[in-house]
Structure 1
């Protein structure tokens, strides 16, 4: 039974007021803040860490998935606009590798250098005119008759209030929507929640001798288990070279609680367990790679992601809920605000299940409707973008990756501007005007 302590009443300082307040600096958040600021809105981007990028930096991911679509066999960059400008900034810092094929060579992904991404993201958001607040951990919301009035944060400076007119929840876990009483659901960790991972990077690899290790390593792992070795945290391992081929990234862990359930990213005790378990799994899997695969004999772990990579927790109940069938049937929507070409990537117990679009020659992408960002009921000044947007478990298993999150974020920031311009709720935004604004800024809404 939980016991409670009543804290004394106190006055909390107001740290400022902005037209748009964005919570969470992952792909959706940084795109949202950039879009709102470029439209001329005073904008604050609040991030709990000391850098932007979300799982792509703090989680050590180092790959943008979902930027490309396989359109009738042709690999096409389908997430554009502010996201491609960010790629150009990373490239100018020497941090991009040529896109590579993943998942049986059926889809392209974009590897990058994490420090370059961090620096480029700072430049990208600040050049738009947005303000950054790092090391501020959001802990609550203040609501009133007009909707959300402020976000409450804790930092080294103490507790503070951030007032705003329109709020964008791109926290990943949907923290702001939960605190404000906005309708949402949470994945069931016993079979309906994607398992988290801990990413790590390997240095001093002999690239020529390693060859296409991402193809041969899973077979070696299966053979070892068949010969009696205890099973690995996850069947197979995704290993790929970075910009300099002596350094490889590895995605080979899967984090679970002692009862087998997925680690819940909204539970601090489970997060702690996951961090410890993830580092142990990284060492275990790397030891096998080094001892059994050519080219890795002199290699070592150069970095383990400073945070575990959470894939799924809370999801908005929005005006439309994107489903797995929408993804696999390449659905079209009149209020499209971007595209997703990534397949359903289900991190199931001990394995990875990839589910592709239906048919022999699919168009290869689904559109993302504006309605997945808009609560079906709740505050009229809240938009939700990123992996916590309105999607089923299956739909979210595809559209949670960086590419569609960039697209959702740019749309959310632009919609916030239009709601302020029209003095309307976010649900009343003219989607025709929104789409026109996005296309003018280079976004791809259809092909």
Structure 2
């Protein structure tokens, strides 16, 4: 007999948005399950080694805090584990970010979900979605013991790639009007780095250009970020890049092989041409390529570039988003920014987190319903915490009360410490 589980809310995907969604749903009183195909939580922050949270603050000078709530729970838990687990930094582009240690993040997320009463299933893949009329009824899953069903009253897709939405047959969006998406990057970590040296994007660019001129192969992006943490000789490097053409196994394998090969040549280039890296040692690759953009959910509302650039405020807003469009359309070049006013943010409406065709399915994180330029602002992980938190609370309201009006969702989010 096939195993079957029943919950009020099921969250698919345990990245920043998924952890926030699960915690928010549980704190709202819903019996909550989080499903994750990896053996740990964190998504791009841990599985791809992206060791910086952008979007907790507005861009530019005079930064204003725009994300608290579930995101703040994670930061506090990391500090409880280790005072050196994260620190505030001003990036090379002048934005206030949070640089963190990914291993402490894994454990902090475990602890927060345990404290809020969330059940987690790791090593679990979703293979299908059961629907009736305009509702999802269950997820078909598989682990090493076989197949099973998970039923719930409401669901949240935080897979990053809108996998639940896609498997349910609901409409999704891909890239711009020509189907072009932003570059994917495979971060890697180095130890033994003299972080007092110049490791700015400009210094990186000089080293990589010289390496290319001297014949070192398989180098793509010339200018990029090296992320430092205070008091550590370890850094995270965001350079090896490629442009995704799809999400099937052949394409994913090609991208992983390509970018992993690039890492070795970047390490060679840094040792030879970047001062402070002479004695560096490669410690971690990835372990998985990090995506900025793949499938996005088509929601009841689509956030537009005008909403982002005009910093639109709205009564049905359920999350603040303080980032500006950061666009990476060329695997060989650093991203470009569309500037916005310092200290400003825009509101993410509830409709952008609601699936257009399935009334009990919500989406959050980088798959939020948005145009591509708007997506380039909402996809950062600080904002993912905020949209995930909102989607989880909305799903809990629907599961427990049969509806999730914006005013009820906002009231519960404020009760849980979110900024609105």
- Taking a change above 3 Å as real, the CA distance of residues 134 and 227 of structure 1, as seen in their structure-2 partners, is closer
- Gapped runs of 5+ residues in structure 1? 1-10, 257-261
Deviations 1:190-229 (A, max 9, x none): 7621111111001001223x23444422234345557887
Using structure 1 for the length normalisation, give the TM-score.
0.88
In the TM superposition, what are the counterparts of 1:306-385 in structure 2 within 5 Å?
Answer: 306-349=287-330, 350-358=332-340, 361-376=341-356, 378-385=357-364
Cα displacement (A) at 1:126: 1.4
Select between 94-103 and 414-423 the one with higher mean Cα deviation.
Answer: 94-103
In the TM superposition, what are the counterparts of 1:145-156 in structure 2 within 5 Å?
Answer: 145=133, 147-156=135-144
Tell me how far apart the structure 2 counterparts of residues 96 and 332 of structure 1 sit (CA, whole Å): 34
Number of the residue aligned with 2:286: 305
Tell me how far apart the structure 1 counterparts of residues 218 and 178 of structure 2 sit (CA, whole Å): 20
Deviations 1:158-177 (A, max 9, x none): 11111111011111111111
Counterpart contact for 2:188–2:238, Cα < 8 Å: yes
Cα displacement (A) at 1:433: 2.0
> Are positions 1:45 and 2:34 aligned together?
yes
- Gapped runs of 5+ residues in structure 2? none
Number of the residue aligned with 1:431: 406
Tell me how far apart the structure 2 counterparts of residues 123 and 237 of structure 1 sit (CA, whole Å): 33
- Taking a change above 3 Å as real, the CA distance of residues 33 and 199 of structure 1, as seen in their structure-2 partners, is same
Tell me how far apart the structure 2 counterparts of residues 116 and 16 of structure 1 sit (CA, whole Å): 30
Tell me how far apart the structure 2 counterparts of residues 231 and 171 of structure 1 sit (CA, whole Å): 30
Using structure 2 for the length normalisation, give the TM-score.
0.94
Tell me how far apart the structure 2 counterparts of residues 324 and 355 of structure 1 sit (CA, whole Å): 13
Counterpart contact for 2:8–2:400, Cα < 8 Å: no
Tell me how far apart the structure 2 counterparts of residues 279 and 217 of structure 1 sit (CA, whole Å): 19
Select between 235-244 and 331-340 the one with higher mean Cα deviation.
Answer: 235-244
In the TM superposition, what are the counterparts of 1:46-445 in structure 2 within 5 Å?
Answer: 46-70=35-59, 73-94=61-82, 95-105=84-94, 107-145=95-133, 147-187=135-175, 192-208=180-196, 210-222=197-209, 232-256=219-243, 262-264=244-246, 266-349=247-330, 350-358=332-340, 361-376=341-356, 378-424=357-403, 429-445=404-420
Cα displacement (A) at 1:230: 6.5
Counterpart contact for 2:12–2:36, Cα < 8 Å: yes
Cα displacement (A) at 1:146: 5.7
Cα displacement (A) at 1:70: 3.3
Tell me how far apart the structure 2 counterparts of residues 223 and 324 of structure 1 sit (CA, whole Å): 38
Count how many residue pairs are aligned between Structure 1 and Structure 2. 418
Deviations 1:36-90 (A, max 9, x none): 111121110000001111010011111111111137x312221101111110111
Tell me how far apart the structure 2 counterparts of residues 436 and 45 of structure 1 sit (CA, whole Å): 24
- Taking a change above 3 Å as real, the CA distance of residues 228 and 115 of structure 1, as seen in their structure-2 partners, is closer
Counterpart contact for 1:100–1:108, Cα < 8 Å: yes
Tell me how far apart the structure 1 counterparts of residues 272 and 304 of structure 2 sit (CA, whole Å): 42
- Taking a change above 3 Å as real, the CA distance of residues 363 and 114 of structure 1, as seen in their structure-2 partners, is closer
Tell me how far apart the structure 2 counterparts of residues 347 and 51 of structure 1 sit (CA, whole Å): 28
Number of the residue aligned with 1:6: none
